[in-house]
Amino acid sequence: MKPMLSAENVVKVFGVPNSPHAITALSDVSIDVFSGETVGLVGESGSGKTTISRIMMGIETATKGVVLRDGRRVETKADWKELRRNIQYVFQDPYTALCPTMRVGAALAEPLIVHKKCPRSECSDRVAEMLKKVGLHPDVMRRLPIHLSGGQRQRVSLARALMLEPNVLICDEIVSGLDVSIQAQVLQLLINLQSELGISIVFISHDLRVVRYMCDRVYVMYNGEVIEAGETSNVFNTPSHQYTKSLLAAIPGVVRNSSVDIG
């Protein structure tokens, strides 16, 4: 079975390559995402997790390497435009991801209007339906982001990402700024939405307990490279790389427990 989304042998250099000030953010990174699965990207800050995810969506351009969708290279502007309709990004900070002067209803309707998914007259109903899907009352569409809690803002961000009915969600540290109880609610919501909609998820996190709970497979990144990858249970229970062992050793019980309570 072909992956629905892949990055192959990606290199990313910031600055002029081979110059003294060039920074190599990624070195020969390959990642596959299959239909309906949740793939975890873990590693310390600066390991390249966010950079590779931004390249897979086309926010950043690879210095070398390719992105493939259903086994086909994504190359032309038309290819990237189509890819971006089908892959949506949910950012770590929902407040800065949302326009502070735009009411929730307008923010959720905007992608429908830009991509001509439905007439303007029908947008309000579509927005109300999506707000219900993420556990919010339709009245929220009249509010500004500042009038919402952190958990509500992240639900709005999820709703906006889902408006175009994407195949893949890239979730970048989406619960790291939330209280533990709210984290559990948002993660369960994500699981329910995946089950209902059949979407694939790229889940970026530094919290290994959450990754163990959420992900089918995991890629461990260090210094711009993938140093270990496999099924989550295998990587967590029998890690082969010393860096992975060090990460897991920092969280008591995460390797030994087959069921981790995130709440």
**pLDDT category of residue 20 using cuts at 50, 70 and 90:** confident
pLDDT given for residue 161 in this prediction:
94
Burial of 216 (0-12, 13-18, 19+ CB in 10 A): middle
* 5-249 topology per CATH: Rossmann fold (3.40.50)
Quick one: tokens of 213?
């709970």
Grade residue 257 by pLDDT with cuts at 50, 70 and 90: very low
Residue 128, both tokens = 């109300």
The amino acid sitting at 242 is Q
Output the CA–CA distances (angstroms, integers) from residue 240 to 2, 46, 82, 237, in the order listed.
Answer: 26, 22, 38, 10
pTM higher than the cut 0.75 = yes
At 135-171, the pLDDT tens digits run: 999 999 999 999 999 899 999 999 999 999 999 999 9
Q: What span, in angstroms and rounded, lies between the C-alpha atoms of 24 and 12?
A: 6
pLDDT at residue 128, as a whole number: 96
Where residue 263 falls among pLDDT bands split at 50, 70, 90? very low
Q: What is the pLDDT of residue 251?
A: 74
Tokens of 21: 């000030």
Question: Phi-psi region for residue 218, left (φ > 0), alpha (ψ -120 to 50) or beta?
Answer: beta
d(CA 166, CA 21): 38
- Closest to 170 (Cα-Cα) out of 65, 254, 97, 103: 97
Question: Domain map of the chain by residue range?
Answer: 5-249
- Across all residues in the chain, what is the average pLDDT? 90
Report pLDDT digits (tens) over 106-133: 999 999 998 888 888 899 999 999 999 9
- Mean of pLDDT values over 60-75: 94
| 222 pLDDT more than 70 | yes
Q: Which among 10, 43, 45 has a CA at the least distance from the CA of 26?
A: 10
Position 157, amino acid = S
- 157 CB-near residues (< 8 Å, 6+ apart): 90, 91, 94, 97, 98, 174
Whole-number pLDDT of residue 173: 92
**Cβ neighbours of 96 (radius 10 Å):** 11
CA atoms of 197 and 73, how far apart (whole Å): 26
DSSP 109-147: HHHHHHTT-S-HHHHHHHHHHHHHHTT--GGGGGS-GGG
CA max distance for the chain? 57
Between helix 104-114 and helix 150-162 the angle, nearest 10°, is: 20
Q: Is the pLDDT of residue 182 over 90?
A: no
Q: Give the separation between CA 126 and CA 62, rounded to whole angstroms.
A: 36
